[in-house]
Amino acid sequence: MSRHGGKLLVDQLVVHGADTAFCVPGESYVALLDGLYESPIRLITCRHEAGAANMADAYGKLTGRPGICIVTRGPGATHASVGVHTAFQDSTPLILLVGQVASDQEEREAFQELDYRRVFGQMAKWVAQIDQVDRIPELVARAFATACSGRPGPVVLALPEDMLATQSDARDALRFNAAQAHPGAEQLERLHALLQRAERPLAIVGGADWTRAASEAMREFLEANELPAGAAFRRQDALDNDSPSYVGDVGIGINPKLAARVREADLLLVVGPRLGEMTTSGYTLLESPTPAQTLVHVHPGAEELGRVYRPELPILSGMGQFARAVRELRVESRWRDWTTGARAEFEEWQRHDPMPGSLDLGDCIAHLRERVPDAIVTNGAGNFTVWVHRFWRWHHYGTQLAPTSGAMGYGVPAAVAAKAVLPDGVVICFAGDGDFLMAGQELATAMQYELPVVIIVVNNGMYGTIRMHQERQFPGRVVGTDLVNPDFAAYARAFGAHGETVTETAAFPAAFERALAAGTSAVLELRTDPEAINPRTTLTAIRAQASEG
Ligand SMILES: Cc1ncc(C[n+]2csc(CCOP(=O)(O)OP(=O)(O)O)c2C)c(N)n1
Ligand SMILES: [Mg+2]
C-alpha cells in the first residue's frame, strides 16, 4: 500500500493509540494535515501553539499516553516550547511534531528554519528529524517508547516538508511497548527492614507515571501501616486527601508544621517525585548530598536517584510496579501518634482566619470542594495557586493538572484538554489576572469544540507573586507588577461564553451554579483585595517586616 509521508505518519499515531491531536496548522505540514483527513484522530485546532502544547501535556498527564502536538516551523515551534519545557519538568509523555524546511533547502536559514536538535536539546528526552519517509514507522515507534519509558517526557520529531509529501510503501509498525523497572525482592526486603527500625517515618508521594489503580494500591499500603504521607509539589492528587494517611502538600506555601515533620522524620519514603526545588522548600528540608533522614527514593529514572541527595535505598521502579509490590507489605506501626498528629495539623491548616476584602478566596474554594468534590482542577502560576494548594481536597489521581514548571498560561488549555478527554467531568480552571491573559484566547477553542469549562479568574490587579517578592526585597519600590485589566466578564461574553463578576464571598455559590448551568464555558472574575497576597499574610505586613529587617 503506497501512502504519502503525512498519511503514513498519522497511521502510526493511530497504531500507537493516539485518539486526539492538538495543533495550529502550518503550510509546512499540509501533507500531515491531509493524513488527518478521514483519520480516527480527533484534531483540535488551537489559537496559539503554547495552548496546543499545554493541552497535549494535560492530555499526557490524564491518559498516560503521549499528548500529540503538531506545529509549524520556527514560529510555531518556539511558541510551543513552553509546553515542551513543562512536559520535561513534569515528566509528561508528549510528542511534538514540527514542520521543517525541505531537505534541499536545509542549512540556508531558509524561511522559518531552525535546527530543532539544538533548540530543544535541553528540554526534550529525544529530538530527531525524519529524513527518509520509509523510516517513519521506526522513528515514530521510538518516539512513543521514549516518551513513555522510565521517567516519561517530551520527544520532538522534525518533519521536512518534502519527506512528508513523498510516497512510501513502508508497513505499519506494531504498537509500542513501554519499558518500566520493577523493585526487586532485595529492595523490598531492605525497605521492610528500614521501616521496622523507623520511629518517625514519612512518605512523600508524587511525580508522574501514576494511575488510579497505583494510587489506590499505595493508599492501601500507607493506611494499613498507619504511615503519614505528604504530596509533592502540585501532585496532590497522588493520594486521596481524605485518607487518614494524607498530611498535606510538600510544595510552595507548605504548612510550617509539615515542613518541621519532614525535617524531623527519621525515614523519608519518597515515592515518585524528583526531589526538586519546590518539593524541598528550596533544598532546605533535606541536606545535600547526605540527608539526616534515612532516604528511600523510588523513581522511574535512574539518573534521578542520587542526583541531589544520597538515598540509603534507591529503588528504580515505575509507580504501578512499586505500589503493587508494597500493597501487602506490613510492618508493626510504632508511630500512630506521629501520624494522627500530622493529620490533625493538616485539618487545622485547611481552616483559615478571615482575609482582607469582601471576597475570601479560601471560603470560595472551601465551597467548591464540597459542591464539586471530584472536579478536575487546573491552574497556571501565581499566588492565587497557594490558596488552591492549601484549601482544595483531591480524591482521585488525575484530577489535578498543574505545572510543576511554574508556567503561567497553563490552566486554561489544560482545562480544555481535560474536558476533551473526560467530557462528563466538571472542570475548573483557577487563573490569576496575569495568568489568564497568557492563554485566554483558548476560550475560543473551548467554544469551537463545545468543551464547557469553568474558569475562575482571581483578579487582584497585579502580578501578585512578583509584587510579593518585590516588597520583601525592595519594600515600597513597586515597579513592573501593576496590571490594568479588561472587564473579564465582557471578555468572556465576546467569545459567546458566560461571564460574571463576583465581588463578595456570599455571591459566589449562586454565581458558580449559573456558570455550571450555562451550557457553555464560563468565566467568573473574582475581585480580590490586593492586600490578601497569600493566605497567611498581607502586603502591608510583608512591607513592614521587610522595612524593619
Ligand atoms: C510564563 C511565565 N512568565 C512569568 C512567570 C513569573 N511569574 C510567576 S507568578 C507571576 C505573577 C502571576 O500573576 P497572576 O496570574 O495575576 O497571579 P497572582 O500572583 O497575582 O495571584 C509571574 C509573572 C512565570 N512563572 N511564568
Ligand atoms: Mg494577579
What is the SS3 string spanning 248-271? EEECCCCCHHHHHHHHHCCEEEEE
Q: Which ligand is nearest to the CA of 379?
A: 1
**Amino acid, single-letter form, for residue 292:** A
Outline where DSSP puts E strands in 40-177.
Answer: 42-45, 67-71, 94-100, 126-129, 154-160, 167-168
Q: Which residues is 232 bridged to in the sheet? A: 250
* Torsion angle, alpha carbons of 125, 127, 130, 134, to 10: -20
Task: Judge if the beta carbon of residue 465 lies within 6 A of ligand 1.
Answer: yes
How far apart CA 67 and CA 391 sit, in angstroms, is: 29
CA of 525 to the centre of ligand 2 (A): 11
CA of 462 to the centre of ligand 1 (A): 9
How far apart CA 433 and CA 427 sit, in angstroms, is: 19
Q: Which ligand is nearest to the CA of 436?
A: 1
> What is the value of pTM for the model shown?
0.98
CA of 459 to the centre of ligand 2 (A): 5
The count of other CB atoms within 10 Å of the CB of residue 477 is 9
Q: What is the atom index within ligand 1 of the atom nearest the CA of 468?
A: 19
Q: What does the block give as the cell for 312? A: 540509603
How far apart CA 549 and CA 192 sit, in angstroms, is: 48
CA of 239 to the centre of ligand 2 (A): 30
CA of 432 to the centre of ligand 2 (A): 5
CA of 431 to the centre of ligand 1 (A): 10
CA of 229 to the centre of ligand 2 (A): 32
Q: What pairing do the DSSP bridges indicate for beta strands 376-379 and 400-401?
A: parallel
Give the Å distances, CA to CA, from 411 to 292, 315, 358. Answer: 37, 33, 25
Q: What is the atom index within ligand 1 of the atom nearest the CA of 432?
A: 15
Ion ligand 2: protein residues whose beta carbon lies under 5 Å: 432-433, 460, 464
| Structural contact between residues 391 and 366, judged by C-beta atoms closer than 8 angstroms | yes
Q: What does the block give as the cell for 449? A: 469544540
How far apart CA 492 and CA 521 sit, in angstroms, is: 9
Closest Cα to atom 9, ligand 1: which residue? 382
Per-residue confidence in pLDDT tens, the chain, 549 aa: 899 999 999 999 999 999 999 999 999 999 999 999 999 999 999 999 999 999 999 999 999 999 999 999 999 999 999 999 999 999 999 999 999 999 999 999 999 999 999 999 999 999 999 999 999 999 999 999 999 999 999 999 999 999 999 999 999 999 999 999 999 999 999 999 999 999 999 999 999 999 999 999 999 999 999 999 999 999 999 999 999 999 999 998 899 999 999 999 999 999 999 999 999 999 999 999 999 999 999 999 999 999 999 999 999 999 999 999 999 999 999 999 999 999 999 999 999 888 999 999 999 999 999 999 999 999 999 999 999 999 999 999 999 999 999 999 999 999 999 999 999 999 999 999 999 999 999 999 999 999 999 999 999 999 999 999 999 999 999 999 999 999 999 999 999 999 999 999 999 999 999 999 999 999 999 999 999 999 999 999 999 999 987
Per residue, what are the HEC states of 156-208? EEEEEHHHHHCEECCCCCCCCCCCCCCCCHHHHHHHHHHHHHCCCEEEEECCC
Task: Judge if the beta carbon of residue 528 lies within 6 A of ligand 1.
Answer: no
Q: Is 520 helix (H, G, I), strand (E, B) or coil?
A: coil
Outline where DSSP puts E strands in 275-426.
Answer: 294-299, 313-316, 376-379, 400-401
Task: Judge if the beta carbon of residue 412 lies within 6 A of ligand 1.
Answer: no
Task: Judge if the beta carbon of residue 462 lies within 6 A of ligand 1.
Answer: yes
| Structural contact between residues 425 and 58, judged by C-beta atoms closer than 8 angstroms | no
Q: What does the block give as the cell for 228? A: 503519614
The three-point CA angle 304-307-312 to 5° equals 90
Task: Judge if the beta carbon of residue 137 lies within 6 A of ligand 1.
Answer: no
